[in-house]
Amino acid sequence: PSYGEVLRLTDNPELRTLAGHFDALKTEPAPYQAARQLRADLARLLEDDATRQLLEDALKHYDSTTEEGFKRLHGLLERQNYRLASWRTAGDDINWRRFFDINELGGLRVERPVVFEETHAKIFELISDGMIDGLRIDHVDGLANPRGYCRQLRRRVDRLNAARPAEAAQAHVPIYVEKILAEGERLHDDWGVDGTTGYEFMNQVSLLQHDPAGKAVLCSLWSETAERPEDFMEEVRLARQLVLTGPLAGDFETVAQALLQVARYDVMTRDITLGAIRRALLELIVHFPVYRTYIGARGRREADEPFFQQALAGARTTLGEADWPLLDLLDRWLGGESLRTLPPGPARRIRRYTCTRFQQLTSPAAAKAVEDTACYRSGALLSRNDVGFDPQTFSAPVDVFHAACLTRAEHFPRNLLTTATHDHKRGEDTRARMTVISERAEWYANKVRHWRQLAYAQRQELADGPAPSAGDEMLLFQILLGSWPLDLEADDSEAVEAYCERIIKWQEKAVREAKLRSTWTDPNSEYEGACQQYVRALLLSDECKTLRTEIAAAAAELAPAGALNSLTQTLLRMTTPGVPDLYQGADYWDFSLVDPDNRRPVDFDKRRATLELQAQPAELLTNWKDARLKQWLILRTLELRRVQPRLFTEGRYLPLKVEGEHADRLIAFARELNGSWLIVVAARLASGLLGDSRTPQIPAERWGDTQVQLPDALSGHALERLFDGMAVTPKQAGLRATEILQQLPVAVLQVSISSTGESER
């Protein structure tokens, strides 16, 4: 509404004519399209320097540094279709949807056809031209209707794929959605997508590699030292209350006001107060166990019902009993009954709008509370705190991992499998090393107590408590143990200083995300400065040389077992049902931290130079710290997938039973398709077996009588060890660990059996 006003201040006839056209926009039937053309006309006129100068002179009338200019500018701003406000008001007063609590990123309504077409035009062009082969949909739960969007996208992509150039032809363009799946939750089958981006797989591998025996010691140590709740879910509930009454308060109020309108449309509920709605809604979301539900015209989907009921039950434990009846109403209004029970009109529209905004609130509330707050407040063991993880669950047996693989093979056989992402909080090998702490919990507890005593003089006492706090100090020790570079010597001042800068950046983010002593919106410079001084003293000062040397030695002690975990993690990603997702640079050891540390430039030339398919395992194992061992394992399994693609995309997944002295320290399974068999065996929870070995290899004799039972179909058939081509003959339908794990802590064996029953290795 201000273009015409400003343009009329010039003496240029063309600009003044254009001013009239801008003024007339208010009566235009298609104002947006007309405004776009007018802006293009204005840009063309301003290509002339003299005309541009006239406009700049006109703008000087709005110079806010002068009293008259300030008044004129204020009047102009007051006539706009928006109100300028301090960014700090957004949390309470915002009336438009944004990405989490980031004011610079507005939410787009892709459910509107014109928005869908405009925002996807370039993507569709790239698919049609054969320039891209698949799509990854980030933050799909932020959409009004994820199912509808994905199905619409699938239809369009399939049509475009059919018309691709012959040289870029492919049978199918995969679509993956970034979806955080809670325990017991599964991606809906009718979205038309190929699966998730694989965060749940990262969690499944992590659970497999944590020793349940360490949980009690680690949780007790954390609670006693950090003086934070031992129960992770308590931290989650506190964090949800914080974000719903803080950064997401405006979005929360939008839903509460919408629910109030729903109540007003029924004579039996019109007296319900906004205060009561706020109380009940808050507790419902605080106890919500999943990111969101998926409400359609017929209400909530059957698969979502248990999660909603769980939230209602949780809310009743913390909500005053007088407000319980309102929970029953929320159950009805938020998808418990079909929208079609309401007649077409305002009541149905406000109910639909309320359901949409409710679902678009629970999703960011979960992300901000769990990933961005609770995961930085709870630190029993940080390897269980990552994107897509359920930190409340510390570990899981092999059977649980097998069950997840079988479900994935049945429903989403092309699901992505990832162990490192642009969003991870710890690199895949940082986590793998930290995981070893679960097997050495008492050792770790003693180390931490001792190190805190040694570092006593470095802590500062501030008005609001010690700096760093005991919790932040413990998180730091874990990060150092997990990410200390394999080749870093404690007395290499230049290299340690570079590492120190990475740790300081991580720590700043960690303390702000925790929102206990500092935040992004109100940084506590005194506390952050004291924490930074502590880190610098710890890693760089002569006074802390003994402590620094001990931490480096402890990290080195964990490193071989951590590398063993990494090899197992890598092999599982490459061979279980799904499509392995290899994050940039993670073919080498990945000891990165949270972003931006995990987005540093990758030396691809170095990686190309070390690629060697025919490298010898023994030599790679001896020099395991240079990362060629991990790269070679990925290369060998990728080559296997290239040669037998259908075995991995269509082949059966068969869990194999392990027996013997160390049966609980192995995971084994088979992949089979039309007589082609692949046997995969990998060590887990093997720190004790590894002992003081300087390499990630367990001496074969330590496996004792442990063996993998094979399917009857393989009885009497010799299998080929993939990594050296040697033949292994099963003994009484079993493979002895002493034979198959002679070279490495992981093994792949293969055999093809013809229709006549003959082996074809």
pLDDT, tens digit (0-9, with 9 covering 90-100), for 283-301: 999 999 999 999 999 999 9
Q: ω into residue 31 within 30 of 0, thus cis?
A: no
- pLDDT of 721 higher than 60: yes
Confidence of residue 153 (pLDDT cuts 50, 70, 90): very high
Q: Is the pLDDT of residue 756 over 80?
A: no
pLDDT over 90 at 353, yes or no: yes
Average pLDDT estimate for 29-37: 91
Question: Rounded to whole angstroms, how far apart are CA atoms 20 and 22?
Answer: 5
Residue 746's beta-bridge partner residues?
682
Task: Specify the amino acid at residue 111.
Answer: E
**What 3-state DSSP class applies to 40?**
helix
> Please, which pLDDT band fits residue 757 given cuts at 50, 70 and 90?
low
| CA dist., res. 696 & res. 674, Å (int) | 35
pLDDT of residue 732: 79
Q: Model confidence over 661-701: pLDDT tens digits?
A: 999 999 999 999 999 999 999 999 999 999 999 999 999 99
The answer, yes or no, to whether residue 733 has pLDDT greater than 80, is no
Strands annotated E in 353-404: none
Distances (CA, A) of 95 to 32, 77, 251, 256: 22, 18, 8, 13
Quickly tell me which residue has 């806010």 as its tokens: 64
- pLDDT tens, 482-513? 999 999 999 999 999 999 999 999 999 999 99
C-alpha 701: how far from chain center: 40
Q: Looking at the chain, how many residues does it have?
A: 761
Q: How large a percentage of the chain has pLDDT more than 70?
A: 99
- Whole-number percent of the chain with pLDDT over 90: 93
Say how far apart CA 428 and CA 422 lie, in whole Å: 11
Residue 755 is predicted with a pLDDT of 64
Question: pLDDT tens, 529-553?
Answer: 999 999 999 999 999 999 999 999 9
pLDDT digits (tens, 9 = 90+) for 259-270: 999 999 999 999
pLDDT at position 760: 65
Mean pLDDT of 432-443: 99
d(CA 451, CA 548): 9
Q: How far apart are CA 700 and CA 328, in angstroms?
A: 61
Confidence of residue 468 (pLDDT cuts 50, 70, 90): very high
- The whole-number pLDDT of residue 103 equals 87
pLDDT tens digit sequence for 238-257: 999 999 999 999 999 999 99
For residues 218 and 208, what is the distance between their CA atoms, to the nearest angstrom? 17
Task: Give dist(CA 310, CA 185) in Å, integer.
Answer: 13
Q: How far apart are CA 651 and CA 635, in angstroms?
A: 21
If DSSP codes are grouped into helix, strand and coil, which group holds residue 370? Answer: helix
- Average pLDDT, integer, range 99-109: 90
How much is the mean pLDDT over the chain?
A: 96
- Write the DSSP assignment of 406-435 as a string of letters: HHHHHH-TT-EEES--TT-SB-HHHHHHHH
What pTM, to 2 d.p., does this model score?
A: 0.93
The residue type found at 478 is Q
- Flag whether pLDDT at 759 surpasses 80: no
Indicate if the pLDDT at residue 13 is higher than 60.
yes
Q: What is the mean pLDDT of residues 96-100?
A: 89
Residue at token pair 């570092």 = 455
Taking only the tens place, the pLDDT of each residue in 298-315 is 999 999 999 999 999 999
CATH numbers and ranges of domains, the chain: 3-84 (no CATH), 98-196 (no CATH), 229-377 (no CATH), 438-558 (1.10.10.470), 645-761 (2.60.40.1180)
- Residue of 574, 552, 558 lying closest to 437 (CA atoms): 558
Q: Residue 707's closest CA among 677, 652, 662, 670?
A: 662
C-alpha separations of 191 from 353, 358, 371 in Å: 22, 21, 25
Residue-wise pLDDT tens digits, 55-96 = 999 999 999 999 999 999 999 999 998 899 998 898 888 888
